Chain A
């Protein structure tokens, strides 16, 4: 087990590796969280030292130096995808619990390597599929799994937004292989589907880059089958100005202009649910159920909330052995496998039967 440091007050000692856009979100929360003692920040960009000073923590540009010098329980890793495995493995070898940005890694082989090293070193690995901490997502999952909608028959998902050109200027890799919206954005929808309902068995995708003409796709249409035969579809485009995108409708991140639009339709034998509108529709009298009868609309009072603080608190509890990771390495690996299958189907024009072994 990792060397427990100053655990007398139950506060775990954390540091960040990488404080870019999302890394900064975690850093800000960690600096103000009672459950942890935030001690250091590492980033290869020396200008980030100011951020460390602002939070009153020590600053490093070399993470290896940081994990050697600091007494830590866990690390928050927010780095480019291809660095997840090598940095994660090094931290596991040092006996540190890991809170890793999603996706777990960029390839399955890397995911296996990282998971193995965390198991070998007996440290926890939590992957930051942060949507699983939004109370609206959690409540929806509960409704679906409790049978409140009857049998879930189908799910329709929309993720259509317009990425401004500065997005591609700031990150030229986003125009190139591996940087497309399937691996960056659709992975969230795949993880949501798995969290809401269950395991995905088969996927088919059509992809297009005709709008932006980049190497990567800009528009994707996906048909998807769960192991029990329930069906889902996902339509996504990052080249279309629209209301219907998770980030814009959920208000988790102030960077996105807030819109109102139902991005998910959950279709059940007893009732259907729009998300995040949270309108449940059903036939109030089962003897008068059918398309010729009036349908009842019920507005549920379930609100969205910032998932990031709860996610980090959860990491602290995982380190203390009070909770098990909501998204383990194995779980996130399955999300990655299904997401890569979408990409493969788009490239080959064939349906892909998913093999999780």
Chain B
């Protein structure tokens, strides 16, 4: 029997770039134990062996032999659902890397299987655990901005030519919408809820690849909030989430403009975390002084926060911050952007599944 406080025994499937980071965090985190890693070639052999964990090359063997009660699935996107469904049969709780899968139907199948098996499913949209996003969410929940009217997003970078040496990054599905913007889409959904309608204009004029390099997107949320996104991976620009929050050590950071959230009482400049509002007496407006308050944020590591949350979900029945359903809706919304840019028409989303 496991008690509420006993460490969670976690297996990791897939040890690529992100999988390797999970291995490290699971080993370091006192609330869990690394019980096994499934991967063909293990680069972090020493780390895994020192942790007393077993290296498997086949998922089947891992499922049969390991004492793991939960897994982190960090395999290529199009295998997430099928591997996840295998794990549900073994009764394992799951943290599935984002996106939930590359296919909507497969993703829905995973959600259903997890429900039937009675296992927990958490999708790894780790930005929901980014301290800046956590702080923004708190500010919105406390209604410090009043009623939200609109949100503006910039995700603009220059990917170097070498990035495109890999063929799939030049082809449909490999562009900045499904690879990068999905993060911002999940942030937006986390902060502003479900999307009602989406429209996108795109261009591939700069690189001339099949895949888009630039897009502008107009969003209507079900709450009536309007969103506006400008994104490009072909411009000399530091205006994006990673640069602004210094979240990714591989991307150069100068902390510039990224999101702006507009409410009836105040505006939040993110991730500078300044709240701008009128503090004068009586009716105020565009002719009056506007002043700011800086909200302090303590830097923490999103993947570590997410791992601890995963332990809470398993041991304390905490509800997943990004459920399978949520992960599916973010994937749907992101694919809606692609659909709209191809059809030249807005895409509507149905109410709840």
Which B residues are in CB contact (< 8 Å) with A289?
158, 160, 236
Interface flags, B249-266, vs A, CB<8A=1, else 0: 011101001001011111
A321 within 8 Å of B (CB atoms): no
Asked if B265 contacts A233 (CB within 8 A), the reply is no
Interface flags, B158-192, vs A, CB<8A=1, else 0: 11111100000000000000000000000000000
Interface flags, B278-294, vs A, CB<8A=1, else 0: 10000111111110000
Residue among B161, B202, B287, B289 making CB contact with A164, cutoff 8 Å: B287
The size class of the interface chain B forms with chain A is 35 or more
Interface flags, B201-215, vs A, CB<8A=1, else 0: 111011000000111
Which A residues are in CB contact (< 8 Å) with B199?
204, 206, 223, 351
B20 within 8 Å of A (CB atoms): no
Q: Once the chains are docked, how many angstroms separate the CA of A349 from the CA of B218?
A: 11
Nearest B residue to A290, CB-CB? B160
Q: Once the chains are docked, how many angstroms separate the CA of A57 from the CA of B10?
A: 87
Residue among A257, A265, A290 making CB contact with B239, cutoff 8 Å: A265
A239 within 8 Å of B (CB atoms): yes
Q: Which of B24-32, B101-109, B149-157 contacts A (4 or more CB under 8 A)?
A: B149-157
Which B residues are in CB contact (< 8 Å) with A295?
236, 238, 252, 254
How far does the Cβ of B94 sit from chain A's closest Cβ, in whole Å?
Answer: 31
Which B residues are in CB contact (< 8 Å) with A156?
152, 154, 228, 230
Which B residues are in CB contact (< 8 Å) with A160?
149-150, 260, 262, 267
Asked if A150 contacts B257 (CB within 8 A), the reply is no
Which A residues are in CB contact (< 8 Å) with B162?
290
Asked if A154 contacts B235 (CB within 8 A), the reply is yes
How far does the Cβ of B162 sit from chain A's closest Cβ, in whole Å?
Answer: 8
Q: Which of B43-51, B121-129, B219-227, B324-332 contacts A (4 or more CB under 8 A)?
A: B219-227
Which A residues between 193 and 246 are near B, CB-CB below 8 angstroms?
202, 204-208, 210-211, 218-225, 228-235, 237, 239-245
Given contact pairs A221-B228, A265-B239, A291 touches B160 in the complex (Cβ within 8 A): yes
Which A residues are in CB contact (< 8 Å) with B197?
206, 349
Q: Once the chains are docked, how many angstroms separate the CA of A225 from the CA of B267?
A: 28
How far does the Cβ of A94 sit from chain B's closest Cβ, in whole Å?
Answer: 38
B217 within 8 Å of A (CB atoms): yes
Given contact pairs A161-B286, A269-B235, A233 touches B216 in the complex (Cβ within 8 A): yes
Asked if B205 contacts A292 (CB within 8 A), the reply is no
A330 within 8 Å of B (CB atoms): no
Q: Once the chains are docked, how many angstroms separate the CA of A256 from the CA of B260?
A: 21
Nearest A residue to B220, CB-CB? A206
Which A residues are in CB contact (< 8 Å) with B277?
241
Which A residues are in CB contact (< 8 Å) with B246?
none
Which B residues are in CB contact (< 8 Å) with A202?
201
B90 within 8 Å of A (CB atoms): no
Asked if A272 contacts B156 (CB within 8 A), the reply is yes
Q: Once the chains are docked, how many angstroms separate the CA of A240 from the CA of B202?
A: 29
Q: Once the chains are docked, how many angstroms separate the CA of A223 from the CA of B217?
A: 6
A247 within 8 Å of B (CB atoms): yes
Q: Once the chains are docked, how many angstroms separate the CA of A283 from the CA of B214?
A: 19
Residue among B201, B234, B257 making CB contact with A153, cutoff 8 Å: B234
Q: Once the chains are docked, how many angstroms separate the CA of A155 from the CA of B276?
A: 24
B345 within 8 Å of A (CB atoms): yes
A248 within 8 Å of B (CB atoms): yes
Q: Once the chains are docked, how many angstroms separate the CA of A243 from the CA of B269?
A: 10
Which B residues are in CB contact (< 8 Å) with A90?
none
Interface flags, A277-301, vs B, CB<8A=1, else 0: 0000111000001111111010000
A88 within 8 Å of B (CB atoms): no
B35 within 8 Å of A (CB atoms): no
Asked if A221 contacts B218 (CB within 8 A), the reply is yes
Q: Once the chains are docked, how many angstroms separate the CA of A97 from the CA of B138?
A: 59
Which A residues are in CB contact (< 8 Å) with B250?
291-292
5 more contacts with CB within 8 A, not counting A153-B214, A291-B158, A351-B345, are A154-B231, A219-B226, A239-B149, A265-B257, A283-B158
A/B interface sample: 24 pairs, CB < 8 A: A153-B203, A153-B214, A153-B232, A154-B235, A204-B199, A204-B218, A207-B226, A208-B226, A219-B150, A228-B205, A229-B203, A233-B216, A240-B264, A242-B262, A245-B286, A257-B286, A269-B206, A270-B236, A283-B158, A289-B160, A289-B236, A291-B159, A293-B160, A297-B254
